Chains A and B, each alone.
Chain A
Amino acid sequence: MKNRSVTLLALLAANDHLGQSEIHRTMLVKQAFLAETIRPLYRLWRQTFSFVRYNYGPYSEDVFYRLDILIFSGLVEVTAMERHRGRVEARYKITPTGHTVLRQIGSGEIVELAHDLVWALQTLGVDQSGTICKLVYQEAEFGRIFAQHTQAGIGPETRISIPTVTAANNETFVTLATLQELLQRQSREEIKGKTFTIPTKEVVRVFLKSLAMQVPRRSLH
């Protein structure tokens, strides 16, 4: 199974494990975008999904393609689906087979990343599509592209690639690296003689919090 499918399966499994068994498709796409953004923290250097700026938000056709394959394979099920004002509103859920397959694959880093991401979103109370959108709009590279396009009058229907997080001088990459270094260095200095490390999920939480602080209303509702 490709990394992309595993990432989606891991995200759905993490949501299920943390009490949100069904997940809206917009929420899933944005979670996949954030997962792609924070992957350097888990030393995952291969790009999973490539995202474009389309209809305001980060979007990837590939997410839905992979999702379809997972559904046809019986690893994911569609729990609700309807067309609402020309848009597809759907909710997805991982099946017991999906859980089993994910355990068998044993992609530890991806599973850990997905778990930490969903957990960190919950610490901010982000559990709806509208709220996660506000968060991802603050991601540095996406925000920069969005501002440039708005200024240049490029419409929301135009699809334009968002640079991968590992690209040279990517601001989010710098932020993540700085955060991790700050947390680990200071914890080493503070607690002399004791083995004490800040868990990576705390780094993810602080990163998301830094995004949330840039939303004029910090509220993510």
Chain B
Amino acid sequence: MSTSLFTISGLAANHSLIFNQDAVGLGFSSVGEIDRFVFSAYAKAIKEVRPADRLRGAIFVLEPASVADALVAPSALKPLLMQIQAATTSAFHSLRIDITGGLSIAYSCTPADRQSLVSGGWSMKVAEQFSRDKKKCVVWAMGIGVLVYINGDLYLESPDVVEELSSGLPAGFQSLSWDDGGIVFEFADCNLNDTGPVGIWQLPDKYVLRPKPELLIRSRLGDFLRYRLAGFHHHDEESHVENEGRADISLHLIDGRILIVEVKWIGCSLVGTRIAANEEDIKAAIAKKAKGWLTTFDDTTIASGLRQLVRYYKTGRFRCAYLTVFDCTASARMGRSCYVPVPTTELNGHSNANFRILRACVDPRPASKRAR
């Protein structure tokens, strides 16, 4: 059998059986209602919240819907999550699955309680104890991860509700979901804007990148994924692909997926031999449009990058292939990062469901200027 009996009996004997009775006792129609809230409402709501505003060690009580099968719309849940985060240290809120009645305070925290706070958030132990004492379904939320306790017992543990990683260590509040490659938009927005000596920019005000920006971006992306990606196992830079060359990044996730990420950039970079040139010389060369100073890539890099990616993908080692194109041109500051439609004619017969092209806009201007 393709599904082992062990798996089936494990699934049947554990969650549904043990927790269903408790969940019904708490008023849920069945324990699956909690999963439905977490993966169909909470996951979509939290995806819409900016990473810095997500819940960090927050605790709330989940109550059954007032009407059978009712479920809150993600857009309606989002402001409530913001309220819960704002009041993390002062109260534990309670909300129904369909948010009838909005938020109510289930428990007001005392100064003694607050001694248990860790970095402004509650530990999962507090949630567990609260659930046990009050005999409630309690959610401990940390970024994109949640733990759900029913009467003090851990029912659901998901380090990434967006990608639905079923189990594993809880992620930190700053963990980001892979989100079908969408994490690179965050990377472009808050990491590649580093204009310091270790950043990718040679002359940020002229939108000129340092020599070999692809290597710099790849290295920074690797570091970013290592520290921020929930479900990260390891990654290989310059991963060898048999008879084809070297892919920029092969990314291994804890659920066994191996993804390939090809990094490309659009814009203008200083050529390697001019690395020692001073700022005035570079600016003069730009003004004169002198040859031998700058390397420029435009949108045609997307097509060539895709062809390269298809050659790596055909080896069959990778589940999905991502072409990430970082737009470092001056016009990128007005643009929006987005997914680009994949031209199926370029895929040599592979399914386009396994390919993504992401165009991430990079704006090196400081936040004060961007805000204007």
Contact = CB atoms under 8 A, between A and B. Distances in A.
A214 interface: yes
A171 B12 contact: no
A220 B32 contact: no
B223 to A, nearest CB: 23
Contacts of A127: 40
Please give me the 9 A-B residue pairs with the lowest Cβ-Cβ distance, nearest first: A125-B39, A123-B35, A182-B12, A219-B163, A123-B32, A123-B36, A122-B40, A217-B257, A205-B32
B40 A218 contact: no
Interface residues of B, number: 43
Interface string B5-34: 101110111001100110000000111110
B11 A209 contact: yes
B164 A218 contact: yes
Contact of B1 (A17, A175, A218): A175
A216 B166 CA distance: 12
Nearest to A204: B32
A123 B5 CA distance: 22
Given A171-B2, A174-B1, A217-B257, A123 B40 contact: yes
Given A183-B17, A186-B17, A199-B30, A206 B12 contact: yes
A144 B71 CA distance: 36
Contacts of B180: 221
Which secondary structure dominates where chain A touches chain B? helix
A108 B320 CA distance: 42
A202 B31 contact: yes
22 contacts: A19-B71, A56-B351, A122-B36, A122-B39, A125-B39, A127-B40, A133-B353, A138-B2, A178-B8, A179-B8, A183-B17, A201-B32, A202-B30, A205-B32, A206-B8, A206-B12, A210-B7, A216-B257, A218-B164, A218-B165, A218-B255, A221-B162
Contacts of B351: 56
B314 interface: no
Contact of A183 (B3, B16, B166): B16
A130 B2 CA distance: 22
Contacts of A115: 69
B344 interface: yes
| A56, A125, A183 — most chain B CB neighbours (10 Å) | A125
A190 interface: yes
A187 B167 CA distance: 25
A143 to B, nearest CB: 6
Nearest to B351: A56
A83 B99 CA distance: 39
A119 B32 contact: yes
Given A123-B39, A210-B8, A221-B163, A202 B32 contact: yes
B16 A18 contact: no
Interface string B154-176: 00000001111110000000000
Contact of A217 (B33, B39, B253): B253
A205 B15 CA distance: 11
B319 A182 contact: no
Contacts of A214: 2-3
B349 to A, nearest CB: 10
B36 A182 contact: no
Contacts of A216: 255-257, 319
Interface of A: 17-19, 56, 85, 115, 119-120, 122-125, 127, 130, 133, 138, 140, 143-144, 171, 174-175, 178-179, 182-183, 186-187, 190-191, 196, 198-199, 201-202, 205-206, 209-211, 213-214, 216-221
B353 A140 contact: no
A219 B11 contact: no
Contact of A19 (B16, B43, B73, B164): B73
Nearest to B2: A140
B1 A186 contact: no
Contacts of A179: 8, 11-12
B137 to A, nearest CB: 15
Contacts of B8: 175, 178-179, 182, 206, 210
A127 B73 CA distance: 13
Contacts of A171: 1-2
A119 B36 contact: yes
Contacts of A133: 353
Contact of A18 (B12, B71, B161, B164): B71
Contact of A119 (B17, B69, B255, B344): B69
A182 B16 CA distance: 11
Contacts of A213: 3, 7, 11, 166
B69 A202 contact: no
A56 to B, nearest CB: 8
A89 to B, nearest CB: 13
Contacts of B2: 138, 140, 143-144, 171, 214
B319 A18 contact: no
B16 A206 contact: yes
A50 B285 CA distance: 70
